[in-house]
Chains A and B, each alone.
Chain A
Amino acid sequence: MDFELTSEHREIQTLAREFAASEIAPFASEWDRDRRFPAEVFSKLADLGLMGVCVPEEFDGAGCDFLSYVLVLEELSRADAGVGVTLAVHTSACTLPLLMFGTTAQIAQYVPPLARGEALGAFALTEAGAGSDAGAIVSHGTESATGWHLAGTKQWITNGSFADTFIVFARTETGVEGPRGISAFILDASQVAVTREEHKLGLNSSSTVDLVFDTDVLADRLLGERGRGFGVAMATLDGGRIGIGAQAVGIAQAALDAACAYAKERRAFGKAIGEFQAIQQKLATMATEIEAARLLVYRAAMLKEHGKPHTVAGAQAKLFASEVARRQTSEAIQVLGGYGYTKEAPVERYFRDAKVTEIYEGTSEIQRLVIARSLLGELGRPS
């Protein structure tokens, strides 16, 4: 067993860290305040190959492994969680499922521009009446002479206002209820309309929108097999969760960094507050929980990289990391006292950003269901 990153992993981590420190972190609170999607950052990330980290070189990616991608997400999220989720959805919720389920022609057409970062990707599953219960979607696809007619509305779609390529899920099988009647499709930006930009608690540098579509597409836009779209969605989220775990670790680490720096500087009762055991205990707990979360995330990433089952490992990593992030960003505010509660310090942003990691790509309750099922088998399944 070896817990060391390879020298290549460390170089990639350093690249992402240095880039984030100078191109993202100094502007993050401004983007948060102005609710601005920093498009320019993604073209710089593209120049460095960071928009296609774990995409094979033959499709214009950088050809690194999944752990490299996770390290990049962690470092970018440490500077700005909105940038992190933009890259996460682009990569693991759009580019990777295209690679996994696409035909040769679909991969050749859609993947290289995404991997080069010339196109941005999105994933549209959730609807007003279908979140955790994704099998309840009502968007529908009907077969036509040339392909499909697709119509429906989607909610809370990350990257929606800026994406070029969307993976969209719709019900195609009449008379079949729930997950089994769904298919996945590839749509262009011109085939969907953004009806509303969401206002959120945090993650303000990322775009989250409502979409409508009512469009005819050719048969070659079907992704994977007809009626097997739910499988596409679940496989996508299996990997995507690991990325959200990495995002949570990055946010929590940023909070710890800020808390440590402040503990050394801030003085009270004639001492640096870091000299008080109460503060030391907090920092020690934060560091330990973050490290445990990080190891769960890295382990899940390695399982995925090696083609091993990672559904449960990914669920555990995301569940634990997101709860650590929520809890420890709150502790960081406590260490910073009143200053931590103000917009002068970044920790209140970390706190607002951390919360969503317990919700998207499967809520904590759903992660626990996944884990429980692996323990209890059929007993754990809903009847």
Chain B
Amino acid sequence: MRIAVCVKSVPDAGSARTIESGTKRLDRSADAVLNPYDANAIEEALRLNETSGEGEVVLVSLGPEKALDALRKGLAMGADRVVLVSDEAAIGSDLVATSYALAKALEREDADLVLFGQQGSDSDGAVLWAAVADRLRRPLISQVAELTVSDSTITGKRQTENGYDTIQAPLPAVVAVTDAINEPRYPSLKGIMGAKKKPQDVVSLSDIGADATRAGEAGSRTTVMTLSPPPPRGDSKKIEDDGSAAAAIVAFLEEKKLL
């Protein structure tokens, strides 16, 4: 199967996150890593093709050229190649503009299945896949914790509060997986050494036939009005242990109907 996995390079979670006050954009100068949620999508793509014994896994991303360093981890895990859309005109893309550019890049790939991670660990939107699926006019199954493919149908299982939803869709389709779907493999040393030699295409908006005015700030529909730090935590209750702390905690949890 030809599988495209949408992946994002994000600032390392260990580094401090700051928002530049002028541009209101996340400072991305920290060390970048592959979005951890996307490792689950890559893992699932590799497993699907390992089961069938054939196919291709292509990583598709929108981001600065230096994102390649982080995305190479996906190649080291076993993906076949990367297509990175990188363009000055794409800087400042919001969800609408990002989904436009990604959809354009994906059209060129003509994949049987497009996989997404659950969310970006930096902006936590958990929404891009819906926008891309809509632009591609393809069925979407989101929050998938178990995925099976047979012939030209995919079946996704999604956990809900009351049990499981099992959803079927015809291929080609778009699927967003959760981080519960699998345990991503470690890249092997051979994988790391081999990753550099795999095709890594950096393409511009015009290369993928995208209209520059629909990407970047020009193509964005959102305006960030204000930014404010999260409010301080509300009232907290401190239980000193005079021998009865355990009982007091249980009583507190019961009162909140958490037990």
Residues of A near any B CB (own CB < 8 A)? 7-8, 11-12, 15, 18-19, 47-50, 53, 57, 62-64, 68
B187 touches A11 (CB 8 A): yes
Given known contacts A8-B196, A11-B76, is B69 in contact with A48 (CB within 8 Å)?
no
Contact B69 A64 (CB under 8 A): no
CB closest residue in chain A, given B12:
A14
By the criterion CB–CB under 8 Å, are A49 and B186 in contact?
no
Please give the distance in Å from B112's CB to the nearest CB on chain A.
29
Nearest CB of A to B142, in Å:
28
The minimal Cβ–Cβ distance linking B35 to chain A, given in whole angstroms, is 15
Which parts of B166-194 form the interface with A (CB within 8 Å)?
186-190, 192-193
Within 8 Å of chain A (Cβ to Cβ): is B73? yes
Shortest Cβ distance from A72 into B: residue: B189
Q: Which residues of B contact A50 (CB under 8 A)?
A: 189
Task: Report B-chain residues with C-beta under 8 Å of the C-beta of A12.
Answer: 189, 192
In the complex, the number of residue pairs spanning A and B with C-beta atoms less than 8 Å apart equals 39
- Report how far A64 CA is from B194 CA in the complex, Å: 11
A50 to B72, CA, bound (A): 19
Contact A64 B186 (CB under 8 A): no
CA distance in complex: A63, B189 (Å): 9
Residue of A nearest to B69 (CB): A7
Is the Cβ of A8 less than 8 Å from the Cβ of B193? yes
Those of B97-117 within 8 Å (CB) of chain A:
none
B165 to chain A, nearest CB (A): 31
Return B65 CB to nearest CB of chain A, in Å: 13
Nearest Cβ in chain A — how far from B196, in angstroms?
7
**Residues on the A chain within 8 Å of B73, using CB:** 11
In the complex, the chain B residue whose C-beta lies closest to that of A11 is: B192
**Are A48 and B76 in contact, CB atoms less than 8 angstroms apart?**
no
Q: A18-B186, A48-B188 are in contact. Are A62 and B69 (CB under 8 A)?
A: no
Minimum CB–CB distance for B7 against chain A, Å: 16
Chain A residues within 8 Å of B69, by CB = 7
Beta-carbon contact of A49 and B72 below 8 Å: no
What chain B residues lie within 8 Å of A19 (beta carbons)?
Answer: 186
**Chain A residue contacts of B189, Cβ below 8 A:** 12, 15, 48-50, 53, 62, 64, 68
Bound Cα distance A12, B76 (Å): 10
Beta-carbon nearest neighbor of A7 in chain B: B69
Which of the listed residues A11, A57, A68 has the most CB atoms from chain B within 10 Å of its own CB? A11
Inter-chain contact B190/A15, CB cutoff 8 Å: no
A8's partner among B186, B188, B190, B192 (CB-CB below 8 A) is B192
Residue of B73, B189, B192, B196 with highest tally of chain A CB at under 10 A? B189
- Which 7 pairs across A and B sit closest by C-beta, in order of nearness? A49-B189, A62-B189, A48-B188, A11-B192, A49-B188, A49-B190, A7-B69
**A47 with B192: CB separation less than 8 A:** no
Q: In the complex, what's the smallest C-beta–C-beta distance from A118 to chain B, in angstroms?
A: 15
Q: Closest residue of chain B to A53, judged by CB?
A: B189
Q: Which of B217-251 contact A (CB under 8 A)?
A: none
8 A-B contacts, Cβ less than 8 Å apart? A8-B192, A8-B193, A11-B192, A15-B186, A15-B189, A48-B187, A57-B190, A63-B190
Name the CB-closest residue of B to A48.
B188
B215, chain A: closest CB distance, angstroms: 28
Task: Give the nearest-CB partner of B76 in chain A.
Answer: A11
Q: A8-B196, A12-B189, A62-B193 are in contact. List 8 more A-B contacts (CB 8 A).
A: A11-B187, A12-B192, A15-B192, A48-B186, A49-B189, A50-B189, A62-B189, A64-B193
Contacts of A68 in B (CB 8 A): 189
* Smallest CB separation, A31 vs chain B (Å): 20
Q: How far is the CA of A162 from the CA of B188 in the complex (A)?
A: 24
Given contacts A8-B196, A11-B72, A11-B73, contact A62 B186 (CB under 8 A): no
- State in angstroms the CA–CA spacing of A184 and B72 once bound together: 43
